[in-house]
A and B are shown apart, each in its own frame.
Chain A
C-alpha cells in the first residue's frame, strides 16, 4: 500500500485495475461552455478508467454534469471547450479531427439515448435505420440487411425480416428502444454509452431492456457506461459506480462498497432517499436544498451547504479525490489522506 505519497505527480483519481488493459481512459476532462471571458465550468477535472467489458454507472442529479460528460466523450457539442484527455483504444479523442470522430461514433463507440420515441427518423423504415451505420461504412445492402436482421433477432425483435419494413410509429416504446440499441450495436462497437436508456420507459419495459442490455453486453464482452439517476438500475446492472455532484466526481466505488458502505455524505444521502421494500421507514429521507448552478458554486466543497456533516474546512477548500477507507475513491474532507494526519 503506497498511501504515504500524497503529492505524487501521478496522483490516482480513479479506480482502475492495473491488471486489465484500459479501453477508455478519461483524464482531467474539463468542460466549459459560455464565452471565453465568462466561462461556465460544467465539468471539472473528471477522470474515469474503463477496461474492456467493464460496466460502469455514472450517477448524479439533473445538472450534475453526467450527461454532458457522456456527450463530450463522443464530442457531440462543438460549442463546448474540452481540455484534458480522452484515450480510447490508444488514441486521444480530443486530438482527432471532426472527420475522424465520425469514424469513431457508431463504429467504435455506440450511444443510446433516453427517448426512444424521438430517436428514430419517422420517414425511414426500421431496417434502413438499423442498417445505416453499416451503409455509411460502405457495407453493401444485402450484407447490411443480413446483419441488421441478426442483430434485431438477437435483441428479441420477433419476425425481424418483416418488421424491418415497418416505420417507427408502428413500434411500441420498448420495441423502439430495442431498435435504437440495435443501431448502436450493429457495427460491433467495444463501448456503449447509454444515457438514461430506460428513463422514458414504463417499469416493466425498463426491466426488459435492462435484462437485454445485460445479456448482450455479457455475450459480446461489451463495455457499458450507463448514465442514470436511478440507483435501482445501477445495483442490478453495473460493477462500478461513479457519483457526480455539481460537475465533479465525488465518489467512485464498486457497487457492493457503494451500497453497503457509502463513503461520501452525498452518496449516503442518495441511498437513504431510495425507497426500499425490505425496510420500514416512517417517511422518505431527502437531501435538503438543491444542487448549485454551475456559475454560482459555493466556495470549498460544492456540497457543503447541503451536507449535515460539513465543517469549516469544507467551506474553504475543495476536497481532492483520495482513496476511501472501504475501497474506492472519495472527494470529502471527512476522509483525509492517511499520510496527512500523521
Chain B
C-alpha cells in the first residue's frame, strides 16, 4: 500500500502529460494560452458596458483601489474591465493577422521552392518589392480606401506581413530540400507535390511555428500604433495597443493606465512565444520525450 501512496502524485501529473504530450511545468503555458483565448471570446460579454465605455470625469486617473482594481484612465473608465473587454479586439485580430500572413507566406515560399530557378527569381523579387512597403503608410492607404476600422488595419497588416514570412520560409525550405531524405524520397519516385507536402513542408514548419508565435506580441503592439495614428481600432473601443498609446500622455500622472494593458500584451506575447517553443518540441519525434 505504501508504494501506491508514494506513486500517486507522479501518476496524476502523468495524466495531464499523457493527453497533451507536454512534460512537467511547461503545461502551464498552453493553459495560459487557452485562458487568454477564452477571455478573448467571452471578454466583451462579461465586461460591464458602463465601466468600459462611459466617461466618468469625476473619477478620472484614480489609482488602483478596491473599486477600480487597476485604476482608471483619463476618461475615468475602469482599466481592468477595459482590458477584459479589449482581449477580443487585440488577441483575435493578432492571431488572425499572423495566421493570415503566415498562410500567404507559406504559399509564396512553396511556389518559389517548387517553381525552379526562374519562378524563384521572379517571386523573390516580388517579395523584395513588397518588403519595401512600410506597414504604417500602407495601412493609411488601406484605411483611405476602406475607411478606418480594425478590419482595414487587419487587412493592411496581412498585406504587409507576408513577405518576411515568405523570405524566411523559402530559405528554410531550400535548406530542407537539400537534405538527404528529400533526395532519397525523390529517388523513390515521390512526385514534387507530395515531396513538398510530406517531406519539405513538415520539416520546415518548426521555424515557422516559432515565428508565428513570436509575431503575436509584436502584432498587438503594431495594432496599437495603428490605432494611435487613427487607422486601427477606433477610440471608444478597448484594444490593448490603443490603450497603451492613448495613455502615453498621462504616463507620469497615471502610470497604471499604460502599464496594465502593457503587461497584458507582455503576458500574451510571452505565452504565445513559449507555446511556439513547446509545439516545436512536441512535433519533433526526436526531441519529444516518451
Contact = CB atoms under 8 A, between A and B. Distances in A.
Contacts of B286: 122, 167-169
Interface stretch (B90-98, B180-188, B208-216): B180-188
A192 B186 CA distance: 15
Given A124-B198, A167-B286, A169-B285, A119 B188 contact: no
Interface string B167-198: 00000000000011111111111110010001
Contact of A123 (B183, B194, B202): B202
A229 to B, nearest CB: 19
Contacts of B182: 121
B191 to A, nearest CB: 6
A147 to B, nearest CB: 14
Interface in A82-111: 102-107, 110-111
B185 A123 contact: no
B203 A183 contact: no
A118 B284 CA distance: 15
A281 interface: no
B180 A113 contact: yes
Interface residues of B, number: 23
A107 B189 contact: yes
A129 to B, nearest CB: 8
A60 interface: no
A119 B191 contact: no
A119 B184 contact: yes
Contacts of A137: 189
A123 B283 contact: yes
Majority secondary structure, A binding face: loop
A132 B285 contact: no
Contacts of A104: 189
A214 interface: no
Given A76-B183, A118-B180, A122-B284, A106 B202 contact: no
A301 to B, nearest CB: 34
A118 B189 contact: no
B68 interface: no
Point out which of B198, B203, B283 has the most chain A C-beta atoms below 10 A from its C-beta.
B198
Given A76-B186, A180-B184, A122 B285 contact: yes
B17 interface: no
A31 interface: no
Contacts of B198: 121, 124, 132
A188 interface: no
B188 A184 contact: yes
Interface residues of A, number: 32
A74 B185 CA distance: 13
B189 A113 contact: no
A13 to B, nearest CB: 27
Interface string B48-73: 00000000000000000000000000
A120 interface: yes
Nearest to B116: A78
Which of B194, B283, B285: most chain A CB closer than 10 A? B285
Contact of A105 (B116, B187, B284): B187
B173 to A, nearest CB: 14
A52 B189 CA distance: 21
A122 B203 contact: yes
A265 interface: no
A217 to B, nearest CB: 18
Interface string A58-78: 000000000000000010101
Contacts of B186: 76, 105
Nearest to B189: A106
B188 A106 contact: yes
A113 to B, nearest CB: 6
B184 A183 contact: yes
A288 interface: no
A133 interface: yes
Contact of A121 (B116, B187, B191, B199): B199
Given A113-B180, A122-B284, 13 more contacts: A74-B187, A104-B189, A105-B186, A105-B187, A115-B180, A118-B179, A119-B180, A121-B181, A121-B199, A123-B283, A168-B286, A169-B285, A183-B184
Interface of A: 74, 76, 78, 102-107, 110-111, 113, 115, 117-124, 132-133, 136-137, 167-169, 180, 183-184, 187
In order of increasing CB-CB distance, the 8 nearest A-B pairs are A106-B189, A118-B180, A106-B188, A169-B286, A167-B285, A111-B187, A105-B189, A121-B181
21 contacts: A76-B183, A103-B189, A104-B189, A105-B188, A110-B188, A113-B187, A115-B180, A119-B180, A119-B181, A119-B183, A121-B199, A121-B202, A122-B286, A123-B285, A132-B185, A133-B189, A136-B188, A136-B191, A183-B184, A184-B188, A187-B189
